[in-house]
């Protein structure tokens, strides 16, 4: 599905995670599922996460973007924001995802932007707006993650 581009992180995120032996772009991605779907996280901070997903290869039998594909993009972006909010000593686990699908797409690229609604000590909630290339909204999603003690920094020793 094309060459993966590098995720842009703010310097404070790079500083916070420096020396932990963690591959940030790999950690803050959709993993193998995202790779198969062509999902790319382009920009990542606790305040805003941006990513894209091609429609091609992610359609349902009618040839339209699959609602589950929209959900994967939304959950990935919201989870990345929650993980960055929690920091290296917390893990973010999705506990609620809802998606409202506004229009069907048969081609192009979907862009998602996740922004925080709530960032607390034990939970983080993000709204994710998915738009088509002309800027029209395709889907609105909301993800709530539980922030648990023990993150990537703790797993490394």
Residue with the two structure tokens 């993650």: 145
- Annotation says 56 is catalytic: no
Cα–Cα distances in angstroms (integers) from residue 123 to residues 3, 53, 81, 141, 148, in the given order: 34, 26, 12, 17, 9
Of 35, 43, 56, 75, the catalytic one is 75
Distance CA 66, CA 81 (A): 23
Whole-angstrom distance, CA of residue 106 vs CA of residue 108: 7
Strands laid side by side in the 90-101 sheet:
40-44, 49-54, 109-119, 123-131, 137-149, 90-101
Beta bridge pairs of residue 131: 111, 137
Annotated catalytic residues are 75
């Amino acid at each position: 599905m094309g060459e993966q581009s590098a995720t842009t992180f703010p310097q404070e995120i790079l500083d916070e995670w420096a020396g932990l032996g963690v591959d940030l772009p790999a950690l803050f991605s959709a993993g193998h599922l995202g790779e198969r779907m062509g999902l790319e996280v382009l920009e990542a901070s606790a305040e805003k996460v941006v990513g894209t997903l091609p429609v091609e290869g992610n359609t349902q039998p009618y040839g339209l973007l699959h609602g589950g594909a929209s959900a994967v993009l939304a959950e990935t972006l919201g989870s990345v924001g929650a993980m960055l909010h929690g920091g290296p000593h917390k893990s973010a686990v999705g506990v609620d995802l809802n998606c409202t699908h506004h229009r069907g797409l048969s081609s192009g690229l979907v862009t998602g932007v996740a922004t925080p609604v709530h960032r607390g000590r034990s939970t983080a909630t993000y709204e994710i707006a998915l738009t088509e290339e002309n800027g029209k909204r395709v889907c609105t999603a909301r993800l709530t993650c539980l922030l648990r003690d023990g993150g990537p920094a703790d797993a490394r020793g």
